[in-house]
Amino acid sequence: MPFIEVASADGVWTQALRVPNVRAEQVRRDLTELAHTWPVAAFLPGTPADPVAEVVLYRDPSRTYGTPDLER
């Protein structure tokens, strides 16, 4: 299912990544580690029992991290 943009703001982005059918628990652990060093959130399409085939990363400006500059 394709995603469509319904609203936008400076510094907001999304990126879908295909992964080789990894267990959801492993993907969650890896993303949790990254979340402590990189302000990003993720969506894992499917159910918790399904292996993960795609991860949708998104960056949403926040009060904590602000809006990244263009280089970042």
pLDDT surpasses 80 at 49: yes
CA atoms within 13 A on the CB side of 24: 10
CA distance 39 to 21: 24
Check if the beta carbon of residue 59 is closer than 8 Å to that of residue 12: yes
Kindly report, residue by residue over 21-46, the tens digit of the pLDDT: 888 888 888 888 877 776 677 888 88
The tokens of 31 are what? 């993303």
CA distance 15 to 20: 16
